């Protein structure tokens, strides 16, 4: 049976530089601004939306608030009665919400879905927030009593590359510098006004303090408040949408393929299970190849760009060879030859990624999809990849545990 087509009608991202705690706002305000913003840019009517999904990691911890689906009704009274739910898979929460929405559309239950990814993280100190993030690992065994557990886990991803293939800090610094440089082109990026460059990333002083093993501040993604809303539609709803706006439905970006797998929660178990594989995280590799296969994409050479999960420079380093831009263990080649820069063979994170644009945990997967959409629709402004035709995303929860990839085109 031919897979029903899923269309992306557009969406809205809040400015990730905002600190909603300083504004003294509740998480409902974040959701509300993203949903109303998305309705405005797409000129869709709230009453046409049939189902809504929220991706969020830990509002119970950060904001002492659960049951986020119900907050759709606070955005517009026309949402009263809407079918809503909330999804969690750590930093992949946003993509899980997208998968759930697209599955329902494919099943023919609904024709128009709204997906919101949202996280408000600046409600607590960085140490306390780091502890909350530890629940995305096996908390008791890997995070309890550990200050900033995640940089340490992803530092160990670097160590594993070092052990198997060798790894140089200068390549990680370059990844950091490219993401920060791209972020300067993105008006919604958290770090767009920051002073960051390759020399800073190479600093081995307190200006760039170590946070976990080989990783330093410049290797890390940001603590971010943000929300992103997008609309997904069936072919039928997309045709209606296009017709009313005088657009061609064939030119609307679509979700061409998806991949989704889960590995052991503990980092040690993942590494043990991948012994003998050329890939350090084989389930991530399977997620990517599934997405490419379902999209009918032969390999990475048919991608115009990638929005990947650079929660740390080591995770982007991993993504480079797992996407097949280089042979396993040779990610450094694509860094050295400029392949992943804007203007390169396959730019990675034109938006600035999680390091440059920011990482509101539950919103990231949806932000990646919206940026992929913008690339295909030619709406990415200064970070536009010229003539982008297919863009892949990779969103990872935990230390490489739950991974989701989409191909948009």
Partner 1 sequence: MQLPPAAPSLAADPLLQQRPLQHVVVLGANGTMGYGSGALFTQAVPKVTFLARTREKAEQGLAGAIRQVRSPTVADRVRCGSYEELPEALASADLVFEAVTEQLELKREFFERIDAHRRADSIVATVTSGLSIDALAEGRSESFQQHFLGLHFFNPPNVIVGTELVPSRFTRPEVVSFVERFSDKRLGRRMVLTNDRPGFAGNRIGFKLLNEVAQLAEEHGVALMERLVGPYTGRALTPLATIDLVGWDIHRAIVDNIHALTQDEAHDTLRLPGYMAKLMEGGTLGRKSGGGFTRREGKERWVLEPKTGRYLSPSEIKLPRLDFIAEVAALHREGRYREALAVFADAPGDEAALARRVIAGYLSYALHRVGEVTEELSGIDRIMGFGFNWAPPGVLIDWLGPKVAAGMIERAGLPVPPALTAAAASATPPRFASERHDNPGRYFVAA
Of 100 and 118, CB closest to partner 1 = 118
C-beta of residue 179 within 8 angstroms of C-beta of residue 310: yes
CB 41 within 8 A of CB 9: no
**Nearest residue (CB) to partner 1, 200 versus 270:** 200
Of 73 and 146, nearer to partner 1 (C-beta) is 73
Of the candidates 198, 268, 269, 302, which one interacts with partner 1 according to CB under 8 A?
A: 198
Which region, judged by CB under 8 A, interacts with partner 1, from 152-160, 315-323, 366-374, 381-389?
381-389
Query: For residue 72, what is the enclosing H or E element?
Result: helix 72-75
Q: How far is the CB of 301 from partner 1 (least distance, A)?
A: 19
Q: Which span (93-101, 123-131, 154-162, 186-194) binds partner 1, by CB under 8 A?
A: 186-194
361: alpha, beta or left, given left = phi > 0 and alpha = psi -120 to 50? alpha
Q: Which residues touch 140 (CB under 8 Å, ≥6 apart)?
A: none
The 255-284 site mask, x for binding partner 1 (CB under 8 A), equals ------------------------------
> DSSP assignment, residue 77?
G
Which residue in the set 53, 87, 122, 200 belongs to the binding site for partner 1 (CB under 8 A)?
Answer: 200
Give the pair of three-digit tokens for residue 101: 């929405």
Site string for partner 1, 335-374 (x = CB under 8 A): ---x--xxx-------------------------------
Q: Minimal distance in Å, beta carbon 105 to partner 1?
A: 27
Residue 370 or residue 396: which is nearer to partner 1 going by CB?
370
Strands (E), 168-277: 210-212, 215-216, 226-234, 254-262
Task: Give me 29's structure tokens.
Answer: 């305000």
Binding of residue 81 to partner 1 (CB under 8 A): no
CB of 95 to partner 1, least distance (A): 24
Do the Cβ atoms of 259 and 395 come closer than 8 Å? Answer: no
Distance CA 66, CA 58 (A): 8
Binding test (CB under 8 A) with partner 1, winner from 85, 135, 197, 262: 197
Q: Which of 67, 141, 199, 245 binds partner 1 (CB under 8 A)?
A: 199
Give, as ranges, the residues between 215 and 244 that touch partner 1 (CB under 8 A). none
Stretch that binds partner 1, among 20-28, 83-91, 287-295, 316-324 (CB under 8 A): 20-28
- 289 membership: H or E segment, kind and range: helix 282-294
Q: Does 177 bind partner 1 (CB under 8 A)?
A: yes
18 binds partner 1 (CB under 8 A): yes
Could you give the CA distance from residue 160 to residue 177 in angstroms, rounded to a whole number?
23
Burial classification of residue 346, based on how many CB atoms lie within 10 Å of its CB (0-12 exposed, 13-18 middle, 19 or more buried): buried
To the nearest whole angstrom, how small is the minimum distance from the Cβ of residue 279 to partner 1? Answer: 27
The kind and range of the H/E element at 218 are none
What are the C-alpha distances in Å from 147 to residues 49, 132, 140, 153, 334?
Answer: 43, 11, 13, 12, 33
One residue of 54, 196, 348, 366 binding partner 1 per CB under 8 A? 196
34-53 residues in contact with partner 1 (CB under 8 A) are 37, 41
- Helices of type H across 107-226: 126-133, 149-164, 169-183, 198-202
Report the alpha-carbon distance of residue 91 to residue 400 in Å, rounded. 10
Instruction: Looking at residues 295 to 334 of the shown chain, list those that interact with partner 1 (rule: CB under 8 A).
Output: none
Task: State the Rg of the chain over Cα.
Answer: 20
The residue within the footprint of partner 1, chosen from 1, 2, 22, 145 (CB under 8 A), is 22
Piece in contact with partner 1 (CB under 8 A), picked from 13-21, 114-122, 228-236, 295-303: 13-21
Nearer to partner 1, 179 or 234 (CB): 179
How many beta carbons lie within 10 A of that of residue 104, not counting itself?
20
Taking the CA atoms of residue 75, residue 76, residue 79 and residue 81 in that order, the dihedral angle to the nearest 10 degrees is 90
Three-state SS for 152?
Answer: helix
Residue ranges binding partner 1 (CB under 8 A) = 12, 14-15, 18, 22-26, 28-30, 32-33, 37, 41, 74, 177-178, 181-182, 184-185, 187-188, 192-200, 203, 205, 207, 338, 341-343, 381-384, 386
């Amino acid at each position: 049976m031919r897979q029903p087509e899923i269309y992306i009608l557009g969406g809205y991202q809040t400015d990730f530089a905002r600190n909603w705690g300083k504004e003294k706002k509740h998480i409902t305000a974040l959701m509300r601004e993203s949903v109303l913003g998305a309705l405005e840019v797409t000129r869709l009517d709230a009453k046409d939306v049939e189902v809504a999904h929220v991706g969020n990691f830990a509002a119970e911890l950060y904001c002492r608030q659960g049951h986020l689906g119900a907050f759709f009704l606070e955005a517009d009274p026309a949402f009263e009665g809407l079918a809503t739910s909330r999804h969690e898979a750590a930093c992949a929460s946003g993509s899980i919400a997208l998968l759930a929405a697209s599955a329902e559309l494919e099943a023919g239950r609904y024709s128009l879905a709204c997906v919101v990814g949202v996280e408000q993280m600046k409600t607590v100190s960085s140490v306390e927030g780091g502890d909350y993030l530890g629940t995305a690992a096996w908390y008791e065994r890997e995070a309890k009593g550990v200050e900033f557990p995640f940089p340490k886990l992803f530092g160990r991803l670097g160590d594993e590359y070092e052990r198997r293939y060798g790894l140089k800090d200068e390549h990680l610094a370059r990844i950091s510098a490219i993401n920060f440089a791209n972020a300067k082109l993105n008006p919604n990026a958290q770090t767009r006004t920051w002073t960051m460059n390759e020399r800073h990333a190479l600093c081995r002083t307190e200006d760039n303090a170590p946070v976990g093993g080989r990783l330093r501040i410049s290797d890390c993604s940001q603590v971010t408040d943000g929300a992103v809303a997008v609309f997904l539609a069936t072919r039928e709803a997309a045709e209606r949408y296009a017709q009313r706006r005088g657009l061609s439905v064939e030119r609307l970006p679509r979700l061409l393929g998806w991949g989704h797998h889960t590995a052991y929660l503990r980092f040690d178990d993942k590494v043990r299970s991948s012994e003998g594989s050329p890939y350090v995280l084989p389930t991530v590799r399977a997620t990517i190849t599934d997405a490419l296969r379902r999209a009918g994409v032969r390999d990475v050479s048919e991608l115009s760009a990638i929005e990947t999960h650079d929660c740390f420079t080591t995770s982007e380093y991993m993504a480079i060879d797992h996407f097949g831009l280089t042979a396993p263990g040779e990610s450094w080649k694509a860094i050295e030859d400029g392949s992943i820069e804007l203007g390169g063979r396959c730019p990675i994170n034109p938006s600035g990624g999680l390091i440059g644009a920011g990482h509101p945990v539950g919103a990231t997967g949806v932000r990646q999809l919206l940026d992929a959409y913008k690339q295909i629709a030619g709406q990415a402004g200064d970070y536009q990849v010229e003539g982008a035709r297919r863009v892949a995303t990779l969103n990872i929860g935990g230390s490489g545990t739950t991974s989701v990839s989409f191909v948009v085109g």
